[in-house]
């Protein structure tokens, strides 16, 4: 289903056998040909995936998501750095060099704060 549907994160969590060790998103918005629009739409999908990861991962888990050249926005990086021990951008060998895609890798989730 559309992961931007407000029900999607809950339904995906319910389909899992408890908190996962890894959240991977290769989502990319259908391209319009307008570079700025395409960039913003795909970065938004990356942000939604990152929030899902922080709300869902098991402690020590990892998050990997597609971004476009230029990388993730500062607010997103700040949020991830607060929640993971290490956050880096990676361009794997399997990603074509002419493609503007790159990946955001956040390692070792610190865990969710519990009240009290
Ligand atoms: C680069 S392709 C990923 C291909 C995938 N890794 C595979 O091997 O089939 C980008 C994917 O993001 C999906 N996508 C785009 N927007 C989405 C959304 N709002 N919710 C869920 N998937 C979305 C598209 O359907 C498309 O399959």
Annotated catalytic residue within 66, 85, 110, 113: 66
CB 70 within 8 A of CB 102: no
CB 50 within 8 A of CB 90: no
Rounded distance from Cα 115 to ligand 1 centre (Å): 36
CB 64 within 8 A of CB 20: no
- pLDDT over 70, % of the chain: 97
Q: Is residue 115 part of a domain?
A: no
Position in ligand 1 atom list of the atom nearest CA 66: 1
Average of pLDDT values for 65-91? 91
Q: Is residue 98 part of a domain?
A: yes
Range of the domain at 97: 8-109
Rounded distance from Cα 28 to ligand 1 centre (Å): 6
Residue 66 catalytic? yes
Q: Is residue 3 part of a domain?
A: no
Average of pLDDT values for 95-114? 92
pLDDT tens digits for 10-59?
A: 999 999 999 999 999 999 999 898 888 888 999 999 999 999 999 999 99
Is the pTM higher than 0.85? yes
Question: In this structure, which residue's CA is closest to atom 6 in ligand 1?
Answer: 26
Q: Is residue 62 part of a domain?
A: yes
Q: What pLDDT does residue 58 have?
A: 98
């Amino acid at each position: 289903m559309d992961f931007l549907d407000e029900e999607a994160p809950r339904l995906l969590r319910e389909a899992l056998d408890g908190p996962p060790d890894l959240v991977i998103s290769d989502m990319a918005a259908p391209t319009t040909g307008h570079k700025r629009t395409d960039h913003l739409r795909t970065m938004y999908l990356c942000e939604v995936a990152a929030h899902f990861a922080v709300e869902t991962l098991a402690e020590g888990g990892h998050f990997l998501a597609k971004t476009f050249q230029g990388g993730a926005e500062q607010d997103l990086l700040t949020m991830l750095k607060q929640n993971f021990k290490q956050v880096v951008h990676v361009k794997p060998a399997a990603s074509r060099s002419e493609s503007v895609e790159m990946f955001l890798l956040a390692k070792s989730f610190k865990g969710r704060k519990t009240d009290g």
